[in-house]
């Protein structure tokens, strides 16, 4: 790996050919994204008593023995119940070379379903972070927060991004990049990444977001554009540029800014400082090269915000900074960009629910 940065699609294929990524069945071409690899659920899952990390010197299999309640067959499909925690072995495993690390994250539609999905590894002391040289299996911890979901083996709930060396841009690098190519419409707020704010004054109408209903039916993840949004979501309206977040409720909102990811960069959405309020923004957040970029058919795309309020009701106001995009260099430009000839559900997006809803 000659250049430091996030590995693009052709470098991921090279890792597959070298046996650094292993899979049974073999990886399909559709799993390889411009800067990440989609991971697939295996044939079975375990309902467990609680979320856990394996911990140094421990395997996930040992922890399943300790905390497992029962095994579930996913081959024909099974319902994962809201509020329960499941561990699913993934079809992919790793034998990373020295110098290459990885970071996993939930896919966009997974986050928009409030389907908490995190990757755990043998010996792991952090969720989603996989150190260089790791050799072993991968597991998904899945906890449906708002809706029970019907899942099957082979479905892709999370994704993994590979890095060689240091990839993250400093604030100075980010300012230079914005000066060369506008990353956001308007004046950028740059502090440990590119800040973005919430849009509560839409150009038309008063609809600013959606709040998940507390009692709904099951969502079959394979049914695209199938479910009427009104059966699962309440519309959130604002006439004065503010809303009050209810503790424990899950919201889909949208950023005020339209953002761009240049073809030779990638980004990840990260929460803003905790002291701005008792809420969390973002549960899924890889932004691929070309997101919102003219070369890939975009003209800036707004970020969808997955918001959960915690301890107390909280007033959220139009233009309030709620999160940040952390930009990273690609080690090389990918062969394909987000939205350019591939199935990219959210290029040019505004306020938008997960792809299962209509």
3 state SS of 116 = strand
Write out pLDDT tens, residues 120-149. Answer: 999 999 999 999 999 999 999 999 999 999
Residues 182-189, mean pLDDT to the nearest whole number:
90
Per-residue pLDDT band for 346 (boundaries 50, 70, 90) equals very low
Print burial letters for 52-67: b (CB count within 10 Å at least 16), e (below 16).
bbbeeebbbbebbeeb
Report the C-alpha gap between 191 and 172 in whole angstroms: 10
Q: What pLDDT, on a 0 to 100 scale, did the predictor assign at position 261?
A: 94
Q: What pLDDT, on a 0 to 100 scale, did the predictor assign at position 284?
A: 54
Regarding whether 135 and 200 lie in a shared domain, the answer is no
Regarding whether 150 and 9 lie in a shared domain, the answer is yes
Chain centre distance of CA 321: 20
- Provide the residue range defining the domain that includes 237: 171-329
Regarding whether 117 and 256 lie in a shared domain, the answer is no
Per-residue pLDDT band for 348 (boundaries 50, 70, 90) equals very low
Between vectors from CA 306 to CA 47 and to CA 168, what angle results, nearest 5°? 95
Regarding whether 175 and 303 lie in a shared domain, the answer is yes
Regarding whether 306 and 183 lie in a shared domain, the answer is yes
Regarding whether 186 and 94 lie in a shared domain, the answer is no
Q: What pLDDT, on a 0 to 100 scale, did the predictor assign at position 12?
A: 98
Regarding whether 136 and 52 lie in a shared domain, the answer is yes
Q: What pLDDT, on a 0 to 100 scale, did the predictor assign at position 271?
A: 66
Report the C-alpha gap between 316 and 241 in whole angstroms: 9
Report the C-alpha gap between 157 and 221 in whole angstroms: 10
Percent of the chain with pLDDT over 90: 80
Percent of the chain with pLDDT over 70: 92
Domain count, the chain: 2
3 state SS of 11 = helix
Question: Which two three-digit tokens encode residue 48?
Answer: 């467990």
Regarding whether 282 and 242 lie in a shared domain, the answer is yes
Residues 163-172, mean pLDDT to the nearest whole number:
96
Least confident of 20-29, 57-66, 238-247, 288-297: 288-297
Q: What sign results for the dihedral spanned by CA atoms 349, 11, 268, 30?
A: positive
Answer yes or no: is pLDDT of 320 > 80: yes
Report the C-alpha gap between 135 and 180 in whole angstroms: 40
Domain end position, chosen among 116, 145, 164: 164
Q: What pLDDT, on a 0 to 100 scale, did the predictor assign at position 278?
A: 60
Q: Has residue 255 been placed in a domain? A: yes
Regarding whether 157 and 243 lie in a shared domain, the answer is no
CATH of the domain at 11: 2.70.40.10
Report the C-alpha gap between 266 and 337 in whole angstroms: 11
Residues 68-85, mean pLDDT to the nearest whole number:
97
Q: What mean pLDDT value characterizes the chain? A: 91
Regarding whether 186 and 148 lie in a shared domain, the answer is no
Write out pLDDT tens, residues 201-224. Answer: 999 999 999 999 999 999 999 999
Regarding whether 148 and 179 lie in a shared domain, the answer is no
Residues 193-198, mean pLDDT to the nearest whole number:
91
Residues 334-347, mean pLDDT to the nearest whole number:
66
- The residue among 327, 328, 279, 273 whose CA lies nearest residue 306 is 279
Domain end position, chosen among 112, 145, 164: 164
Report the C-alpha gap between 49 and 210 in whole angstroms: 31
- The residue behind tokens 């699962």 is 232
Q: Has residue 316 been placed in a domain? A: yes
Regarding whether 139 and 273 lie in a shared domain, the answer is no
């Amino acid at each position: 790996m000659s250049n430091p940065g996030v590995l693009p699609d052709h470098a991921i294929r090279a890792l597959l050919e070298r046996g650094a990524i292993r899979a049974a069945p073999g990886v399909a071409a559709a799993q390889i994204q411009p800067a990440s690899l989609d991971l697939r659920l295996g044939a079975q899952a375990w309902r467990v008593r609680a979320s856990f990390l394996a911990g140094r010197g421990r395997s996930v299999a040992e922890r399943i023995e300790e905390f497992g309640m029962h095994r579930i067959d996913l081959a024909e499909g099974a319902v994962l119940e809201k509020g329960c925690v499941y561990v699913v072995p993934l079809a992919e495993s790793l034998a990373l070379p020295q110098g290459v690390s990885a970071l996993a994250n939930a896919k966009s539609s997974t986050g928009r379903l409030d389907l908490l999905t995190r990757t755990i590894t043998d010996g792991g002391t952090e969720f989603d972070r996989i150190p260089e040289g790791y050799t072993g299996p991968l597991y998904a911890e899945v906890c449906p927060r708002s809706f029970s979901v019907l899942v099957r083996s082979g479905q892709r709930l999370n994704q993994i991004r590979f890095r060689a060396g240091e990839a993250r841009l400093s604030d100075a690098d980010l300012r230079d990049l914005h000066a060369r190519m506008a990353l956001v419409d308007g004046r950028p707020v740059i502090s440990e990444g590119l800040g973005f704010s919430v849009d509560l004054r839409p150009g038309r109408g008063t609809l600013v977001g959606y709040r998940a209903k507390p009692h709904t039916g099951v969502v079959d993840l394979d049914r695209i554009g199938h479910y009427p949004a009104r059966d699962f979501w309440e519309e959130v309206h604002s006439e004065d540029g503010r809303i009050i977040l209810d503790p424990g409720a899950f919201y889909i909102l949208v950023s005020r800014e339209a953002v761009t990811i240049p073809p030779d960069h990638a980004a990840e959405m990260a929460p803003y400082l905790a002291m701005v309020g008792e809420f969390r923004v973002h549960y899924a957040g890889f932004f691929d090269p070309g997101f919102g970029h003219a070369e890939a058919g975009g003209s800036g795309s707004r970020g969808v915000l997955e918001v959960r309020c915690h301890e107390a009701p909280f007033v959220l106001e139009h233009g309030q900074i709620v999160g940040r995009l952390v930009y990273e260099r690609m080690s090389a430009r990918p062969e394909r960009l987000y939205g350019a000839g591939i199935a990219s559900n959210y290029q040019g997006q505004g306020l938008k629910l997960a792809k299962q809803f209509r």
